Amino acid sequence: MVRVELPFHLQQLAHVGREITVHVDGAATPASVIDAIEQQFPMLQGTIRDYATGRRRPFLRFFACEEDVSFAPFDAPLPEAVASGSEPFMIVGALAGG
Amino acid sequence: MSEVRVLVGTRKGAFILTSDGKRQQWKVSQPMFGGWQIYHLKASPVDPNRIYASQSSDWFGQTLPRSDDGGQTWTTVGNKFLYDGIPGTHQWYDGTPHPWEFKRVWHLEPSLTDPDTVYAGVEDAALFKSADGGQNWTELSGLRGHSTGSQWAPGAGGLCLHTILIDPANHDRIYTAISSAGAFRTDDGGGTWKPITKGLYSKYLPDPTATVGHCVHRIAMHPSKPDTLFMQKHWDVMRTDDAGESWQKISGNLPTDFGFAIDVHAHEPETVFVVPIKSDSEHYPLEGRLRVFRSRSGGHEWEPMTKGLPQQDCYVNVLREAMAVDRLDKCGVYFGTTGGQVYASADGGDSWNAIARDLPPVVSVEVQTV
């Protein structure tokens, strides 16, 4: 199981708390974790990555083990600590706006 | 006695204002979708408890909540708005080709007969249709695929399809308006479309009478006269009496004919309301006086409605989606401002009251009588 921390508005949308756990098929990568999130919480489809391009939404960042993994390939393995569930995969909204 | 529900979309959430048929005492709901931009909410005319909402955010994109109990609870339905085929390009601000990119839903128009059928007008401009209550969306690509589509360019607010009007006498006839492409009509349920811009004049265009490129801000229709449409253009208030085949200017004695919102009285198809805004560079009322102008003659002659509206130091805007009328015997008129006020008139515009004063900037207003 992979632990995922969601930003406030996605928590509201999915009716969950700050942290969720998802079952990931195969290696834990940004793509497989988001696949698992979208499967378990269909209301989050399209909110983390754009439907048309498949890319991360530009005002979101991904963090793992205190590293910014936003620009890593979507199929790059996440750290073992994330894959094993000891550290969360963090989806963070940009601190901007009015 | 009837209950009136005013559905208000704002930059930071949605609100429902309710009153009885007297429309004197109003209750403001708690915020719904707090922090999200709610471009539009609209209920099905055949199932008033079914309400569709456009919920979007620069962070998280578009989602689409639907209520089946009059706004008490909401379910997130489909948000997959994918253009049909290979999208191609439209014109960018600098005249270069730019790929079509879905950004948000500006307008939701439920079918007049089926609560599960709903149309969505989106940015970048396209028309989508759902026949299953908003779960799945299909583009009616004949519109964007019109031979002029690659020439469409955005206005300052984006390349947005913001107006959808279904002819109540012929449901295959639908009108749309796009900033800043113009106005279009289909007579076959959305398969094929024709520009309906003859008579429009836009001095900022290289060819002021071009077929496309007009920045149409809003079109309104009275259901009893569906061939007559009233348009608030970037500048100019216009009307057509032949379903858009030709337009005539009806600005008449308006102090300025720039503006966004326009609507028609529920029981008087020749009574029209606009809120003149100073200019395209200064989006607030003339002289700091918020005035609704009413024409009872279908245009040309306009009278200012000021009773109950601020007549000094008022510098708010009224956006294109932010005016609506109810269907009660004495027609109610409603509009919202970028200052967060919602004003209501229970007497056809003669006098006004603020029924909400301190909401986030108001983007859209719709009214239900239930």
> Which of B59, B79, B100, B135 is the mutation pick for testing A, counting most A CBs within 10 A?
B59
Contacts of A77 by beta carbon, 8 Å cutoff, 6+ apart: A27, A28, A29, A83
Phi, psi of B197 (to 5 degrees): -130, 10
Residues of A with Cβ-Cβ distance to B32 under 8 angstroms:
none
Tokens representing B18 are 């309710």
Domain count, chain A: 1
Of B59, B79, B81, the CB nearest to A60: B59
pLDDT at A95: 82
In tens, the pLDDT along A50-83 reads: 999 999 999 999 999 999 999 999 999 999 999 9
Q: What is the residue whose two structure tokens read 């996605």?
A: A10
SS3 B85: coil
- A93/chain B closest Cα distance in angstroms: 7
Report which of B53, B56, B68 is spatially closest to residue B15, judged by C-alpha positions. B53
Q: How many CB atoms lie within 10 A of CB B13?
A: 20
The answer as to whether A98 is a domain residue is no
Tell me whether residue A85 is in a domain.
Answer: yes
CATH number for the domain that contains residue A47: 3.10.20.30
Question: For position A14, what pLDDT does the model report?
Answer: 97
Strand positions, DSSP E, A8-85 = 19-22, 60-64, 67-68
Residue A18 lies in a domain: yes
Of B58, B79, B101, the CB nearest to A46: B79
Cβ neighbours of B58 in A, within 8 Å: 59, 97
How many angstroms separate the Cα of B76 from the Cα of each of B43, B247, B262, B282, B307?
16, 40, 31, 38, 41
Instruction: Give yes or no for a contact between A83 and A76, defined as CB atoms under 8 angstroms apart.
Output: no
Contacts of residue B62, Cβ cutoff 8 Å, sequence gap at least 6: A46, B54, B55, B56, B79, B81, B102, B103, B104, B105
Q: How far is CA A11 from CA A19, A71, B60, B67, in A?
A: 8, 24, 12, 19
Q: Closest CB to A59: pick one of B35, B58, B80.
A: B58
Transcribe B159-208 into DSSP letters. Answer: SEEEEEEE-TT-TT-EEEEEETTEEEEESSTTSS-EE--TT---TTSSST
The pLDDT value given to residue B2:
85
Whole-angstrom distance, CA of residue A12 vs CA of residue A19: 12
* pLDDT of A98 higher than 70: no
Residue B76 has its nearest CB partner, among A9, A13, A51, at A13
ipTM > 0.90 (yes/no): yes
Superfamily name with CATH number, domain B3-369: YVTN repeat-like/Quinoprotein amine dehydrogenase (2.130.10.10)
CB neighbour list of residue B157: distance below 8 Å, 6 or more residues apart: B179
Q: Are B299 and B230 in contact (CB under 8 A)?
A: yes
CB A42 within 8 A of CB B78: no
**Domain ranges within chain B, ordered by starting residue:** 3-369
Which helix (H) or strand (E) element contains residue A40?
helix A30-40
pLDDT digits (tens, 9 = 90+) for B94-117: 999 999 999 999 999 999 999 999
Tell me the residue range of the domain where A56 lies.
2-93
pLDDT at A96 over 80: no
Residue of B165, B337, B173, B169 whose CA lies nearest to B264: B165
The three-state secondary structure class of A71 is: coil
pLDDT (tens place) for every residue of chain B, 370 residues total: 689 999 999 999 999 999 999 999 999 999 999 999 999 999 999 999 999 999 999 999 999 999 999 999 999 999 999 999 999 999 999 999 999 999 999 999 999 999 999 999 999 999 999 999 999 999 999 999 999 999 999 988 899 999 999 999 999 999 999 999 999 999 999 999 999 999 999 998 999 999 999 999 999 999 999 999 999 999 999 999 999 999 999 999 999 999 999 999 999 999 999 999 999 999 999 999 999 999 999 999 999 999 999 999 999 999 999 999 999 999 999 999 999 999 999 999 999 999 999 999 999 999 999 9
Q: Do A9 and B35 touch (CB under 8 A)?
A: yes
DSSP element (H, E) containing A8: helix A8-14
Q: How far apart are CA A49 and CA A58, in angstroms?
A: 9
Could B60 and A50 be called an inter-chain contact, meaning their C-beta atoms sit closer than 8 Å?
A: no
CA distance A84 to chain B (A): 28
Contacts of A45 in chain B (CB under 8 A): 79-80
Answer yes or no: do B60 and A10 touch at CB < 8 A. yes
Q: Kindly write down the DSSP assignment for every residue of B102-143, as one continuous string.
A: --EEEEEEE-SS-TT-EEEEEETTEEEEESSTTSS-EE-TTT
pLDDT digits (tens, 9 = 90+) for B191-248: 999 999 999 999 989 999 999 999 999 999 999 999 999 999 999 999 999 999 999 9
Select from B209, B193, B222, B181 the least CA-distant residue to B325. B222
For B82, name the nearest residue in chain A, comparing CA atoms only: A52
**Nearest-angstrom CA–CA distance, B177 and B107:** 11
